[in-house]
Every structure is written in C-alpha cells, then in structure tokens.
Amino acid sequence: MLTCLTAATRRSPSIPFVGLAEGLVLAAIRRSGVTMQRIRPALDELQRQIGIDHALASQHLFTDGAELLYDYAEQNQADGEGIDTRTLIVIRNGQRVFAEVIEQYLQMIRYGSDGYASVIKVPAYRDAAVVADPGRSFGSPVFERGGARVSDVLERFWAGEPLSELSEEFGVPPQQLEDVVRATSRRAA
C-alpha cells in the first residue's frame, strides 16, 4: 500500500542514515572535548591509511576526550597477528593508548555485521526508548517497543486521543509516551 506524501512531508529536510550516525558521534566527540582541529586531520588520515569513508559511523572509532582513537585490532587480526583485544591508537601520531576510553556515545548506537551503525537510539528523550532504524519506517524515529512511529502517535495525541488509549493501542508504556510528549512540547515552546 502506497502512502501519499503531504506537501509538508516533501519539503521536510532529510539526511542519509549514515549522516545521522556521523552527526551523533561528532556531537558526542565534540562534547567530550576533542577540537575540530584534531578531528578533521584524524578522519583524513583514516581515509588515507585504510580507505574508510564514514569513520564517524564506524564502531572502531573512539575518543579519550583529547584525541581521536581507532581500534586497529580487527585490522591486525586480518594481518595474521591474532590480537583479540582492543588496540587503540591515536590517529594523529600513531601512539598506542592505555587510558580509559569514553564510550558513552557507543551505547546509543548498535552496529551491524559490516561494522557501521545500523540502529541509533534517539538522544532527545530521557525515558522513551526511541530508535532510528533504516529497516523500520524508512528510518523515521520509532518506539523500540511496539514499533510505532513517534510522529503517528504524536499526531493522534494532538488530535485529542488520551495517552492511556494510545499506550494500549501501540503497545508503548505510558511513561515513554509522556516523555515524548514532554520533550516535543519543550521544543515547540
């Protein structure tokens, strides 16, 4: 069944899923304290060294809050060295890192068998489990439990349907619906 796009939907900006993943990771890396002067050359170096185009969406990229680090363990295994542990190297100068690595943003991203982001937890909500998954609803944010598109639930709420009925119909816990409504209301205000 094909759905007609409204005029508003056609004018809405869209980005590829890999761009969403890269934007989320870039924001997290910047929040951890790494400057763009360190990020750009590191990404260029990864492209030059191993030909990785979307390094920010790769599960092998990390930060310690000052530098970008890359996990070369998989690369080393392919070379026959058999290293099973994470081998974090500062991209800029090739130094191995033994420090505790900031991995908070990695908890927001699930990676596919290709090593790139496949599902992203939307960070806008405190309690709601909302994900962007290109395999469901064309990447539109959906509730992880129940699979309902966030926009569909919000439209029905704004049309006057009570959260209790929406919770029952879509299989989404009421506290998650309340969180989404609260977060959306803050942005609209």
Which DSSP string corresponds to 96-145?
A: B--SPPB-GGGGGEEE-TTSBEEEEE-TT-SS--EEE-TTSGGG--EETT
Report the range of poorest mean pLDDT among 1-5, 44-48, 93-97, 128-132: 1-5
For position 88, what pLDDT does the model report? 67
Does the pLDDT value for residue 56 go beyond 70? yes
Confidence band of 187 (pLDDT split at 50, 70, 90): low
For position 100, what pLDDT does the model report? 42
Confidence band of 181 (pLDDT split at 50, 70, 90): very high
Confidence band of 176 (pLDDT split at 50, 70, 90): very high
Q: Which CATH number fits domain 122-188: 1.20.1050, 2.30.30, 2.60.40, 1.10.10?
A: 1.10.10
Does the pLDDT value for residue 6 go beyond 50? no
Confidence band of 167 (pLDDT split at 50, 70, 90): very high
Residues 6+ away with beta carbon under 8 Å from 160: none
Q: Where do the domains of the chain lie?
A: 17-120, 122-188
Long-range contacts of 125-132 (CB under 8 A, 24+ apart): 125/176, 125/179, 125/180, 125/183, 126/179, 126/183, 127/175, 127/176, 127/178, 127/179, 128/176, 128/177, 128/179, 128/180, 128/183, 129/176, 130/176, 130/180, 132/17, 132/20
For position 66, what pLDDT does the model report? 66
User: pLDDT tens across 61-111, in order?
Assistant: 766 566 777 776 654 445 454 444 556 677 777 777 543 443 444 567 778
Q: Are 131 and 120 in contact (CB under 8 A)?
A: yes
Cα distance between residue 89 and residue 96, in whole Å = 4
User: pLDDT tens across 118-161, in order?
Assistant: 888 887 888 899 998 888 888 889 999 889 999 999 999 999 99
> Between residues 35 and 141, which one has the greater pLDDT?
141
For position 160, what pLDDT does the model report? 95
